[in-house]
Amino acid sequence: MKKTSRWIACAAAAGVMTVVVAGPAQAAPTVQALWNMDAVPAMVDSAGGDNNGTTSAIAMRQGAYDFNGSTSIATVQHKPNLNPGGSNIKVEARINVDTPPAPGETYDIIRKGTSVTSTGYYKIELKGKTGGGMNAACIFKDGNKVVGQAIGSIPSRTWVTITCTKTATSVTLVAGATRTTARTVGAIANTAPVYVGGKGDGTDVFDGMMDYASITIG
C-alpha cells in the first residue's frame, strides 16, 4: 500500500476529520440606497443609508419620476457606502422609455463616476440601435481599467426592470432575458456623486418614466 493510501486508511479508521478552510466570505448583501421616486423635489432614500438625493426639472407622471430627455437629473452626493470596493454590487431600476435614444446615442439610468475616473465607476445605460430599438448595458470598470459589461435588448413604452450585478467573476444583466459575461473586475471606489437619469453634465439625459432605483452591496 502506498504511503498516501495508508494515511487515508488510518485517518478514516481513527475518525480523523479534515477541515477545509474557505476563502474570505462576502459580506451579506445590504441595500445601501432605495429610491421609490414618489415625490419631488427630494429623492428620498427608503433604505436607511441616508442617501437622499435632489431632483432638477423632474416632474411626476403616473406616480413616477418623469425625465424630459433634455434637462432632468437627480443627484445623490457621494458616500462611501455607495462604493462596492471589492464586494459584489447590484444596481437596479424600473423604467418606461418614451423615445429610445437615436442610433449610437445613450441615456444614463444610474451612474457613479465616468470612464475617466481613475478609481473605477459603474453604470446602467441605454444605447440606441441601428434600425431602431435599444439595448440596456451594465458596465463596471475597476481602478486597473478592467471593464466588464453585459448587454441586451429591451422594449420601449412599457415598464421593464433592469438589474445589473457584478460579482468576483462575472457581470450579469437581467431585463426580461438574462445575459452574463465572465469577467474578473476588481475594486471600484470613487468620490463621484450618483447621478440618476443623466451623466451629470447635461448629456445622456433619460427620456421616460422611472419609479424605482436601488444599489445593493455585498
Domain ranges of the chain: 24-217
Above pLDDT 70, what percent of the chain? 88
pLDDT of residue 26: 61
**pTM for the full predicted model:** 0.87
CATH code, residues 24-217: 2.60.120.200
End-to-end CA distance of the chain: 48
C-alpha cell at 34: 432605495
Mean pLDDT score across all residues of the chain: 90
C-alpha cell at 74: 437627480
In this predicted structure, the answer to whether residue 114 has a pLDDT above a threshold of 50 is yes
List pLDDT tens digits, range 70-103: 999 999 999 999 999 999 999 999 999 999 999 9
Radius of gyration, CA atoms only, the chain: 21
